[in-house]
Structure 1
Amino acid sequence: MWSFFSRDPSKDFPYEISEPVPGLEATSVWTLHKAKKKGANEDVSVFVFDVRNGSETQFEVAKAAVKRLKTLRHPSILTYLDSLESDKALYLATEYVVPLQNHLAELSKDGQQRELYLAWGIFQITRALSFLNNDGNLRHNNVCLPSVFVNMAGEWKLGGVEYVAGATEGTGLPIKILPALEKYDPPEKADPSKQRHITKCSTDMWGLGCLIWEAFNGPLPQQSALRDLENIPKQLSTAYCELVGANPASRPNPADIITRCRKVGGYFKNDLVDTLLFLEEIQIKDKSEKNRFFMSLPPQLDNFPENVCKHKILPQLITAFEYGDAGSAVLMPMFKLGRLLEEAEYQRKIVPCVVKLFASTDRATRIRLLQQLDHFIGHLQAVTVNDQIFPQIVNGFMDTNPTIREQTVKSVVHLAPKLNYNNLNVEVLRHFARLQAKDDQGGIRTNTTVCLGKIAQHLHPQIRQKVLISAFIRAMRDPFPPARSAGVLALAATQQYFLLSEVATRILPALCQLTVDPEKSVRDGVFRTIKGFLGKLEKVSEDPSLRESMEADVHTATPSLSNAAATWAGWAVTAVTAKFYRSQSDTVKSTSMVSRVLSKPGSLEQPSSSSISTTTSSVTSMTSLEQEESRGADSVSDYDENNWDGDNWGEMETGQSTVSEPRSPTPAARNPDRKGTDGWDTEEWGSLDEEPISPPPAPSSELSSPGEGWIHTEFTTTAESPGTRSVGSYSWGDAKEDGSSLTTRGTGLTKSQSGWEESEWEPLEDVSNSTSRLEEARKKREEKKLQRQKELEARRATRVVSGGPMKLGAKKL
């Protein structure tokens, strides 16, 4: 029964105290310990005063500190949480902090990051002293390195409040009971004649000067060391000299120090201080100010300390997004800082914001989300992607704005590994089929082909067999040159997924018809791709046992390490941005510049173009695709170096060129009976190549001839000109060269419902007949030449016979 009254009351203290933290020895009556709140994973700090080993005076000082800290609430003063007094010890729980001396020892010794951080810390302590002296009419009386602590967000907190007293003019200074603190006493303490000049802030300003010296030099060995200004920044040296002046009346007020140093060129005027102060006042800023601030923030974050970014800036960005009108501009810095979080923190803090953002109907927000997808997709669970995010993203495939459609297509590359069977193999492919066939933007059709090649490894093997060849052959018929290049290079990048029988009967015949393509870059890619596939067929012909290994990935759901499309990077075209792309031929780099201004959608901000890198695939060397912006029917704005993986596929030489959109087919070439394909269901993919094949339309008049260098072209547009038609409206039926039929002379390539077969090849003309016709034409030219020479000789003879000088104005033969 009596044991109840003798139990230790510290057991009721709601914090579990662990190991002590060094740094306060001989400079404080407290010992600092790490601790955790019971029942919660929350770190705190507990200051412990040992009642049994401490003196009565120290005990009174410690109790006074607890009482004072309870009543002081300021962002730059140590935050009080709880306290407990027992017979054994006095406990003071605060936010988690470490001594400033320990924290500075862990910082880099120099660099811009340290300079910015020290300015922010000194600013915070100056602000705390201004609060005490001017608002609270109090004097701290113990400002020095041991009385300052740093929390998890890197904020400097003023502690050591054991000697806080009222600020009365001319009063004396308290006696500090620890000898180690005497070196921080101002000179007027030993000179009674100067004590009448003490102001409400003079003592604390002396202590601020000592703290500044210690921030740049380490612990103060003795008071005379304050004369050393070597490591004090020049911007701060004038104010520092005033702070440690011998006359207490001449020391400035802390509010004056802040005002002076916050001016342009002042010590407190830097990116870190400006950023943190703006975030503290963000609720009173207007929307335009917020947008400018968030747009300028990402490049500055690299110079800020990681703990400040993670625990100070990021939480305020999230709060600004959730409870303010920060808008989509906050996304870029928020996702950049999200990479600093642990996975559990990311799931708790960032993922809910992402899910909420994808439900937004604001187009600018959706575009920024899709552009930043690679920064956070790795942290999203597959269930979250399929159930909450993909249903929102899929609406972008049908958006009327080209920028939304383009970014939605690109996003599939990042989403594909997390999508389930139905979303990837049914929904995505259905929209891809419609975009590739009918979208009016050539760049979007091109990027759809690129994206399909990049996600090929994630498709179900059976779906992959139906889709890839059909889709890439369709791209090779597109009137937009980069789209044809994308189809060719996609075949090479995904070559491990094709049966050799399909290579021989479907792929090579389709490639051969592009060997006469008007675009040199397309032809170069075609020939290299053909060589690669022929090399595979030749190897298998010589050694049939290689067939099994070459077709190993065709029916496997998990590709091998040689998979080319796994790292197929870059986008052939950025379809809507108002930029230009260049390529140069083998012989001429840049000959002229042509520009055309079309209309562009102004409702959306222009996204930046993607950069592209090169990798390798398994048979021969393949090319880096770098085209030029098209003009005419399809508007393309940005063309990047497109690097496609391919084993031993060498890089295609590129040059500056003009890529002009082929002209729209004549009405005679259009087939009104052609059925449109609104989507590629799994059954429809197999019939995509069953439509008639059209040769690429003739290039426009601005195109240089194949033997000449490509003309450099500059475009400033995002939308297609009026009167243009979508690729789905073009006739792919049989046409002859006059446009009425679609059989291509020279290739003899036609299509039927059953695919590519020997019987479907149009026979070529007999070689002997062709030779005889050429010989006859040559003879006729020779006869005409001889006849012309005879006529000229007859005229000359007539002129000589007539004789005499020619009259003025007479016609000379």
Structure 2
Amino acid sequence: MWFFARDPVRDFPFELSPELPEGGPPGPWVLHRGRKKATGSPVSIFVYDVKPGVEEQTQVAKAAFKRLKTLRHPNILAYIDGLETDRCLHIVTEAVTPLGAYLKARAEAGDLRELELSWGLHQIVKALSFLVNDCSLIHNNVCMAAVFVDRAGEWKLGGLDYMYSAQGNGGGPPRKGIPELEQYDPPELADGSGRAVREKWSADMWRLGCLIWEVFNGPLPRAAALRNPGKIPKSLVPHYCELVGANPKVRPNPARFLQNCRAPGGFMNNRFVETNLFLEEIQIKEPAEKQKFFQELSKSLDSFPEDFCRHKVLPQLLTAFEFGSAGAVVLTPLFKVGKFLGAVEYQRKIIPVVVKMFSSTDRAMRIRLLQQMEQFIQYLDEPTVNTQIFPHVVHGFLDTNPAIREQTVKSMLLLAPKLNETNLNVELMKHFARLQAKDEQGPIRCNTTVCLGKIGSYLSAGTRHRVLTSAFSRATKDPFAPSRVAGVLGFAATHNLYSMNDCAHKILPVLCSLTVDPERSVRDQAFKAIRSFLSKLESVSEDPTQLAEAEKDVHAASSPGMGGAAASWAGWAVTGVSSLTSKLIRAHPTAAPAETNVPQRPVPEGHWETQEESKDAEEDSTAADRWDDEDWGSLEEAESVLAQQDNWSTGGQASWAGQTSNPGHKSQESDWSSWEAEDAWEQGWQEPSPPEPPPEGTRLASEYNWGGPQPSDKGDPFAALSVRREAGAQPRRDSWGDDNWEGLEAESRQAKAELARKKREERRREMEAKRAEKKTAKGPMKLGTRKLD
């Protein structure tokens, strides 16, 4: 029938590539690259063409086919499929490269390392130990041509053509008939000496010595060259000499050879070999051992081969997260290995794991993800960010752990360009408004202001108009000095997003009030910002035709190009403030932040006067627009000054958050009435003693609509938080002097003097009343007498 005439090679589910890899094995087998027709996965195909007159060689090939099909070991070439016909033999294995070609390519690229060679030789010796000790088989063909390397850099032992039983059940060793292979035979086989006293592994261990020589020195020209170790490492030379000794009886068993090389100081006693051995047994390791292993793995990945990290470490990391209890410790090595992947492979392997991690409730994992978001954000598409990432990330804004809140704020800098209209302009702004107004941690409020300044260019025109001016104005009244500096620099970094009217009527009045700030760093930045805005207004005043050019970005839908310009001034947000927050967290790691009153250190009297008044030449410059040159590094200086004043890093103030004011003392509300700060926030910029309570009906700074009375400001989430709803609130004049926004030192001293004068007057009246009462007492005053006992 017709199907008996079909060619089995055509129906073979694997396709051969006509291209032959370099360094194929000598002999009848020809190595081809190939792929599986159904999936396209790469394979290697060994092909033997049956020819007449070589029946002995054909029997050797068929024996190798059978051996490879039945032998299974991690260090022996893995059999996948095969085809045996009257005309040919096909053996399909995992995709491999001949060792000679692999070493040549690695050496030319300069990537060949002793660590890699030590593990490769370890694998070959382990395969020989399995054959000799467990299977009683003699390989009889150990050489460079019989070793192959897979895509992970793992060495595999092949070339099973001339294998025979060590127990003599199948006769003697088969004849090779190939001069290239016979040169690896030990000397006792050539002269017939020592056959009765040699061990069953002696011949293979001699050939192992030849392999070691070739790995470090290249192809073996003749057996006499084995006497010179050449480039073999010194730690391996003593053990190598045992292998190529003339006496076959002293050649060590493969298991003992491994033990000797793994001894302290041995060639195979290194971190790379230990890592591989642990990965081979990771399924039976205890959870504590896995945790420790993954924690230490990141330090070693830089010294490991790239292919090993991609194809061996990465699958183990993914498996450990998916089915194990490794948790957050796998994140650092996972993202480190991810750098070796292409975009498509990263999307397929890493991103699904990252998306699943964001839904975890493990705080350690969440903060690790936020800290390392920069490594994978480029591979996240917008739909994934908005539907699967952002809804989980925003929970960090409400977390009781300050570190998570801070890292969540910083992560918005990376997520903002990928957020949709609703998430960016509505949802995110609500959280930023609450953090800036109510968070009790000063560094977090500062970082919120910084992040808002950086992502301001991505906001819609309406959101920018409602939010930016109000938010930065509020920041300039923060008791935390770096927050005030951040507010000033926020104005400066987004200067092109404001109209000329807003610059003149809203921004400059706020900046001018900061020229008398107690902190030198705040005053310096305020003067710079004022000069910048004044220069801008002056240029438009001199040439009104420049108005359109100056306001071109005000009503633009978005200005993504601003992100690069803003990056120069906000770098401090990622580095500078985190140190402040870390000190806060270390001071009280278990305290609930929502229940802690965090006072600010009061400004000592005379602090302003003792500030150094000298300025750099750059600060004295009157250049019109220098904000591209302004770096957030200037904020780091402010941070260091504040840290020195507050002495956070010294042991004398171990519990910074524990310094609460007297519970019986009710301090005046700060200008941000919506912050829910009850104790001593105003002490950072006023006198430490309790101030005079304001008259009835006095409004706080946060009650003023900084965005103006326009109806469009109703959607401002920052202003909504600061609205103070009180029944029967009395109208009040919007007088800067009457409302006493800044609580200046002179006014505070006058209030104290007036209070002291009233107390002295009251005391005088009390003394006069007592004297009058004594005068009206009955009878004359009598001297006291002492009674005797």
TM-score (norm 2): 0.78
- Structure 1 CA distance for aligned equivalents of residues 705 and 599 of structure 2: 33
Higher mean displacement: 448-457 or 566-575: 566-575
Q: In the aligned structure 1, how far is the partner of 2:44 from the partner of 2:432? A: 57
Deviation at 1:761, TM superposition (A): 5.8
Indicate yes or no: 2:508 matched with 1:508. yes
CA apart distance, 1:61: 1.3
Structure 2 gaps of 5+ residues are: 603-624, 662-668, 710-732, 739-789
Does residue 636 of structure 2 align to residue 647 of structure 1?
A: no
CA RMSD of aligned residues (A): 3.4
- 1:376 aligns with 376
C-alpha distance 598-647 of structure 1, shift in aligned 2 (>3 A): closer
* Structure 1 equivalent of residue 200 of structure 2: 200
Structure 2 CA distance for aligned equivalents of residues 345 and 597 of structure 1: 39
The Cα shift of 1:263 comes to: 2.2
Deviation at 1:365, TM superposition (A): 1.2
Query: How many residues are paired up?
Result: 662
Note if contact 1:202-1:249 (Cα within 8 Å) is conserved in structure 2: yes
What letter corresponds to residue 13 of structure 1 in structure 2?
A: F
In structure 2, how many angstroms separate the alpha carbons of the residues matched to 1:21 and 1:602?
Answer: 67
Q: How far apart are residue 24 of structure 1 and its match? A: 4.6
Structure 1 residue identity aligned to 2:56: T
CA contact (8 A) 1:403 1:576 kept: no
User: Secondary structure, in 3 states, of the residue corresponding to 2:48?
Assistant: strand
AA partner of residue 195 (structure 1) = R
1:601 to 590, 614, 631: 590
Code of the aligned partner of 2:117: L
**TM-score, length-normalised on structure 1?**
0.75
Distance 1:560 1:458 in 2: 6
Aligned to 1:612: none
Q: Which residue does 1:421 correspond to in 2?
A: 421
In 1, Cα distance between equivalents of 2:543 and 2:535: 12
Cα separation, 1, equivalents of 2:90 and 2:312: 28
- How big is each residue's C-alpha offset from its partner over 1:61-114, in whole Å with a ceiling of 9 and x where there is no partner? 111111000111111110000000223321100000010111111114697861
Change (3 A) 1:164 1:739: farther
Partners of 2:120 and 2:686 in 1: CA distance: 79
Structure 1: which amino acid aligns with 2:627? G
SS class of match (1:35): strand
Give the CA deviation at 1:12.
1.6
Offset from partner CA, 1:428-465 (integer Å, 9 cap, x none): 11011111100111111111111111211221221112
> Corresponding residue for 2:398?
398
1:573 aligns with 2:562: no
- Whole-angstrom CA distance in 2 between matches of 1:543 and 1:53: 99
Contact 1:141–1:174 under 8 Å retained in 2: no
Indicate how the Cα distance of structure 1 residues 566 and 141 shifts in structure 2: closer, same or farther if over 3 A, else same.
same
Deviation sequence 1:219-260 (CA, Å, 0-9, x none): 112111111212000110011000111111110011111112
Q: Which amino acid aligns with 2:589?
A: K
Instruction: Report the equivalent of 2:676.
Output: 729
Change (3 A) 1:46 1:597: closer
Q: Is this contact kept in 2: 1:656–1:712, CA < 8 A? A: no
> Shift in Å at residue 173 of structure 1?
4.3
Deviation string for 1:522-548 (max 9, x for gaps)?
A: 222111122222221222222222222
**In structure 1, distance between residues paired with 2:353 and 2:586:** 40
Tell me how far apart the structure 2 counterparts of residues 543 and 363 of structure 1 sit (CA, whole Å). 57
Q: Which amino acid aligns with 2:317?
A: L
The CA distance in 1 between the partners of 2:637 and 2:343, in whole Å, is: 46
Distance 1:552 1:252, change over 3 A: same
The 5 A counterparts of 1:328-367 are 328-367=328-367
Distance 1:153 1:534, change over 3 A: same
Identify the residue that residue 245 of structure 1 maps to in structure 2.
245
The residue type equivalent to 1:430 in the other structure is K
1:256 to 1:395, Cα distance in 2 relative to 1, 3 A: same
2:277 corresponds to: 277
- For residues 592 and 184 of structure 2, the distance between their equivalents in structure 1, rounded to whole angstroms, comes to 63
Mapped to 2, the partners of 1:61 and 1:30 lie a distance apart of: 11
* Structure 2 counterpart of 1:600, one-letter code: P
Equivalent residues of 2:482, 2:635 under 8 A apart: no
Partner of 2:36 in structure 1?
37
Do the aligned residues in 2 keep the contact of 1:441 with 1:575 (CA within 8 Å)?
no
> After superposition, where does 1:468-547 map in structure 2 within 5 Å?
468-547=468-547
Is 2:270 aligned against 1:294? no
Note if contact 1:600-1:719 (Cα within 8 Å) is conserved in structure 2: no
Residue 660 of structure 1: CA displacement? 5.3
Q: Unaligned stretches of 5+ in structure 1?
A: 581-595, 605-629, 636-643, 662-701, 704-709, 743-747, 765-813
Kept in 1, the 8 Å contact 2:572–2:635? The answer is no
**2:229 matched residue in structure 1:** 229
Shift of 1:387: 1.4
Distance 1:76 1:26, change over 3 A: closer
Give the direction of change, closer, same or farther, for the CA distance of 1:320–1:576 in structure 2 (3 Å limit).
Answer: farther
Amino acid at match of 2:537: L
- Percent identity over the alignment is 51
For 1:149-192, what per-residue CA distance to the aligned partner results, in whole angstroms no more than 9, with x for missing partners? Answer: 01011100000011111113898544212221111111111121
8 Å CA contact 2:461, 2:558 repeated in 1: no
Moved more, 171-180 or 116-125: 171-180
One-letter code of the match for 1:89? C
The more displaced of 345-354 and 312-321 is 345-354
Whole-angstrom CA distance in 1 between matches of 2:68 and 2:176: 18
Residue 168 to residue 719, structure 1, CA distance change in 2 (3 Å):
farther
- 1:688: which partner in 2? none
2:82 counterpart SS class: strand
What is aligned with 2:119?
120
Q: Which has the higher helix share?
A: 2
Residue in 2 aligned with 1:697? none
How many angstroms apart in 2 are the aligned matches of 1:203 and 1:750? 90
